[in-house]
Structure 1
Amino acid sequence: MSKGRMEAFSDGVIAIIITIMVLELKVPHGQDLAALRPLAPAFLSYVLSFVYVGIYWNNHHHLLQAAHKVNGRILWSNLFLLFWLSLIPITTAWIGDSQFARWPIILYGMVLLMAAIAYTLLQLQLIAQEGRAAPLARAINSDLKGKVSLVCYASAILLAFWNPLISLGLYILVAMIWFIPDRRIEKILAE
């Protein structure tokens, strides 16, 4: 079946996720710049989550550009990814409201870890559909960035029991690793 409906649905869900996150930001109480200070944790968590959702949107787009068609397993894998992405707004709000407390940071990491696992499963389903010799399989190859991300998320979850700010630093590190779009698929498609 065609991939167009899945792409359109995914784009819509991701747009709603970003909208929900921005609606969680509160209007400052006061008329000077000092009124922004209490909002800093919420704003910083929003920026981090916006970057993450943007990274997923960008890489999802590239991933689907390499696919020619989808099947039921791919549709369900995509929904699994969207489910975990849809939890980002609530965990984002919680880490901002709690000022980066332990349990919100742990739950945020668990959502990021599960989204990364879901994205990996989507990749595997697309590769199974397209075949091991297809450009997508060659582009993804060993997926070092994906594996490093999974290790960082799992480590950050464990480290949050000791120091949540170290975990936050690892989440930022993973976002920085992925901030530059993954060009593997673009290169293969350009051949």
Structure 2
Amino acid sequence: MGKGRIEAFSDGVIAIIITIMVLELKVPHGTTLDALLPLAPVFISYVLSFIYVGIYWNNHHHLFHAAREVSGRVLWANLHLLFWLSLIPFVTGWMGENHFATLPVCAYGVNLFMCAVAFHLLVSSLVKHRHGNEALAEAVGRDRKGWMSLGLYAVGVALSIVHAWAGFAMYVIVALVWLIPDRRIERKTM
């Protein structure tokens, strides 16, 4: 089956996720820089989450640009990814509002881990649907970067239990790794 509807639906959901996140930012009650200071944790968590949603949108776009067809399995795998992405505004708000306390930072990491698992399942579903997706399968290969990210998220969750800022730092590192564009799909399919 065609892929146009899944791309349009996913783009819409991701746009709503970003909208929800920005609506959670509250206007400070004051006109000085001191009025902004209490909002710093909320803003920092928003920036990281915006980057993550952007990374997923970018990779989702590349993935479906390379795919030629989708199956019912791909549709469900995509919904699974969108479910975990839709929880990002909640864990972002919880983490920021509670100034990076242990449990919210841990929950944030678990959510990022599950987003990565869901994306991996989506990629696997597209690769297994061989009709026209051979170039995508070749481009993805072993997906070392994806597997490394899963490991780093797990380490981040464990570290956040010991020291929340150490876990948060690990999540930042994973985001930085993905900010460097992954050219595998572009090289093989364009």
Alignment-mate amino acid for residue 10 of structure 2: S
Written as runs of structure 1 = structure 2, the 5 A alignment for 1:83-94 is 83-94=83-94
Aligned to 1:156: 156
Q: Do the aligned partners of residues 19 and 133 (structure 1) sit closer, same or farther apart at CA in structure 2, a change above 3 Å counting?
A: closer
Contact 1:70 1:129 in 2 (8 A): yes
Alpha-carbon contact 2:46-2:92 (below 8 Å) kept? yes
User: Runs of 5+ in structure 1 lacking a partner?
Assistant: none
Structure 2 equivalent of residue 104 of structure 1: 104
In the alignment, which residue of structure 1 is the partner of 2:34?
34
| Cα RMSD after superposing both structures | 1.2
Q: 1:130 offset after TM fit, Å?
A: 2.4
Output the amino acid matched with 1:127: V
Runs (4 or more) in structure 1 with deviation over 2 Å come to 130-133
**1:107-161 CA deviation, whole Å, 9 max, x = no partner?**
1011100000000000000000126981111111121111111001111111111
The percentage of aligned residue pairs carrying the same residue is 57
Q: Which residue of 1 aligns with 2:48?
A: 48
Shift of 1:34: 1.3
| Contact residue 44 and residue 96 of structure 1 kept, 8 A | yes
- The answer on whether the counterparts of 1:132 and 1:138 sit within 8 Å (CA) in structure 2 is no
Of stretches 87-96 and 129-138 in structure 1, the one that deviates more from structure 2 is 129-138
User: Aligned pair 1:126/2:126, yes or no?
Assistant: yes
1:73-114 Cα shifts (integer Å, max 9, x gaps): 000000000000000000000000010000001110111000
Mapped to 1, the partners of 2:137 and 2:109 lie a distance apart of 28
Q: 1-side partners of 2:97 and 2:108: how far apart?
A: 13
Aligned residues: 190
| SS of equivalent to 1:161 | helix
Distance 1:53-1:133 versus aligned 2 partners, 3 A rule: closer
